[in-house]
Structure 1
Amino acid sequence: MSDAQHVKERIQLVRDLSNEMAAYLHTLPDNIWRDPDVYASACEGWKIADVITHLILGANVFGMSITNAVKGVVDPPMGWSRPSSPEQGMERLVDTRNAIHEDLFYDFNASCKRFNSILLELEESSYSLPTWHPYFVISVDRLIDIRASELALHSWDIRYPIDRSARLSDRARPFLLDFLWRWLRSGFQKTEPLDSPIRYRFDLTDADGGYDVTVSGDNFTHTPSDDSPADVTLGCDTDTYILYCYGRLQLRRSVRRGRIALSGNEALAARFTEWFRG
């Protein structure tokens, strides 16, 4: 059973992050929408306009999924299906982006308003209902968490190419720390069991302690750091830890730029992104 107060806090977070992003998008030049192929985002292979289109589509399909869930329907919303390949998914995204064109900012605001209104109208008893997602069936409250994570990360994806000092939203950071283990779980690439587990330690420079990700091949654990020896230690701030684990930062570049202080087995360090893929 979902914790009602917890879900309500997540709903408020989605609203806050929607408003934060809308306020930032309002400051961007019109060429972002008129000439979208020029403006890259920090999300690999996506332009800023692609990211906004993705968030519009997400709000629309998640909203319909939740509306269906309240009616007891867990089928895909009418007209929606999972892309058969990443290439088809990207083709759909670009086609939608081009169709919306200069109205992306307005469509983003409208889609957020519709989705957030659906969330506010939910009864507490609906939070645990099963609902459709393109890749799985999950509860409504988990779908809300996914929306919050996308708004939080994609906001940084949009800001970073324009402002290299961009940081994660202060509102989003605690949530992303809590959500991180689920992200790692969803992208974990299991193999045969290892003879010896590999311990990756993230030693946070702006907080007390840090986190250990220990990979055993067919499984992994994500725990607060302890006194156990680590095979690889990455010293960094909390934002860098989150962004690296979410696949937004490259290890070598981050080390070269002083964003990550790396110690231990460098070959094992490079394997982290083989174990965990977004």
Structure 2
Amino acid sequence: MVNSDFFSRIPLLEILTNQCISYWKDFSDNDWKKQTYCEGWCPKDIVSHLVTGTEFYSYSIERAIKNLSPEPPYGKDIEEFYAIRDTKGKELMELSHELLLERFVKSSNDLQSQMNKINSENSEQLGFHPRGLIPLGFWIGQRLFEIVLHDWDIRYGHDKGINLSVEGVKGILPFLPIQICRLFNRREKIPFQASFLFVSQNPRKKWIIRISDESAVESYDLKIDIDAKIEVDSESLILLLFGRESVEGVEQKNKLKIDGDRETVFKLFDILFTKY
């Protein structure tokens, strides 16, 4: 079931995207060449990656809105899709910074026009993503994760102490439970059973993740018996889920507290917190 809070985040996507554009417009040639958080990638690599992603997001969402069957925008299978996307990315890298930014602006505007059509009536319709089909309602979160994290990746090259966008963290919050389930459900794992109470802070939210063998589901029935309580700073949880923080580092900063079966918690963490 898609959370009704998801739709209120659609305007935020446009705001955060425009903030990125304004920031990148002022980049010098040297700024475009700086190392980012992503090893071996400069800002131009990230923006090229964002453009290819933005373009296929638009394709997938438009097909889902029209209730057409999910399919890749190019390539006969996932492997060929990635190969063609890689070629498109290399072509974008040959563009000037100005032309690349123009391409990002156009693709983002096209995507926003599709996002604006997502509503409660079509939110469960599925669109193609190489890591698994995504209901329209969650594409909003998928884009938020991407924009907020890659904005941070680029800013990290200028300031290693930079935080995620405050507005971005607040916007992402409703999507965190389903993102945890998506990551768990598509990764290889040894089956186990457990229930975890997550309590995120700054901002605060509570939810349950129930593990049954190889499947994870979210729940808001806080009366369920749990194996452990995981209290974690919201920004840190986002960074952990996308391989940009370590559990040890977050614990040392007192931004993660585990109460209960620590061994079982780390079974979950070992699956979720993968270095990208």
TM band (smaller chain): 0.7 to 0.9
Which of 53, 73, 91 is the equivalent residue of 1:58? Answer: 53
Number of paired residues? 269
User: How far has the Cα of 1:249 moved from its partner?
Assistant: 0.6
The whole-number CA distance in structure 2 between the counterparts of 1:54 and 1:17 is: 17
SS of residue paired to 2:133? strand
CA separation of 1:22/1:231 partners in 2, compared to 1, >3 Å: closer, same or farther? same
Match runs of 1:124-273 below 5 Å: 125-188=121-184, 189=187, 191-194=189-192, 197=194, 206=202, 218-220=214-216, 237-254=233-250, 258=253, 260=255, 272-273=268-269
CA distance in 2, matches of 1:209, 1:121: 28
User: What per-residue deviation string (whole Å, max 9, x for no partner) do you get for residues 228-247 of structure 1?
Assistant: 897796x7533123212332
Please give the TM-score of this superposition, normalised by the length of structure 1.
0.72
Cα distance, 1:61 vs structure 2: 1.4
Q: Report the residue type matching 1:158 in the other structure.
A: I
Contact 1:247 1:273 in 2 (8 A): no
CA contact under 8 A between 2:36 and 2:156: conserved in structure 1? no
- The corresponding residue for 1:76 is 71
Deviation at 1:111, TM superposition (A): 1.5
CA distance in 2, matches of 1:247, 1:145: 17
TM-score by length of 2: 0.72
Point out where structure 2 has 5 or more consecutive residues left out of the alignment.
none
Gaps of 5+ in 1: none
Counterpart of 1:57 in structure 2: which amino acid? T
Call closer, same or farther: CA 1:229–1:28 in 2, change over 3 Å.
same
Does the CA-based 8 Å contact 2:126-2:134 persist in structure 1?
Answer: yes
The alignment status of 1:30 with 2:26, answered yes or no, reads no
Structure 1 equivalent of residue 114 of structure 2: 118
Percent identical pairs in the alignment equals 21
How far 1:78 sits from its partner (Å)?
A: 4.8
CA displacement, residues 104-158 of structure 1 (integer Å, 9 cap, x when unaligned): 2222122112222333466875544433333433333332331122112222222
What one-letter code is carried by the residue in structure 1 that aligns with 2:113? S
CA distance in structure 2 between the aligned counterparts of 1:179 and 1:118, rounded to whole angstroms = 19
Letter in 2 for 1:136: G
* Structure 1 counterpart of 2:17: 18
Q: Give CA-to-partner distance per residue, 1:75-111, whole Å, 9 cap, x none.
A: 5365356542898488446514423342322221221
- Tell me if structure 1 keeps the 8 A contact 2:141–2:172: no
**Structure 1, residues 214-240: CA drift from partner, whole Å, max 9, x if none?**
7665345667899x897796x753312
**Range with bigger deviation, 214-223 or 136-145:** 214-223
| Distance 1:49-1:173 versus aligned 2 partners, 3 A rule | same
SS of 1:133's equivalent in the other structure is coil
Q: Determine if contact 1:65/1:74 at 8 Å carries over to the other structure.
A: no
Choose which of 103, 107, 125 in structure 2 pairs with 1:107.
103
1:262 & 1:57 partners in 2: Cα distance? Answer: 38
Kept in 2: contact 1:54–1:93 (CA 8 A): no
Aligned in 2, Cα 1:57/1:98: closer, same or farther, shift over 3 Å?
same
Q: Deviations over 1:184-214 (max 9, x none)?
A: 22221454444x8486x77766566877767
- CA distance in 2 between counterparts of 1:250 and 1:260 reads 11
Aligned letter for 2:94?
A: A
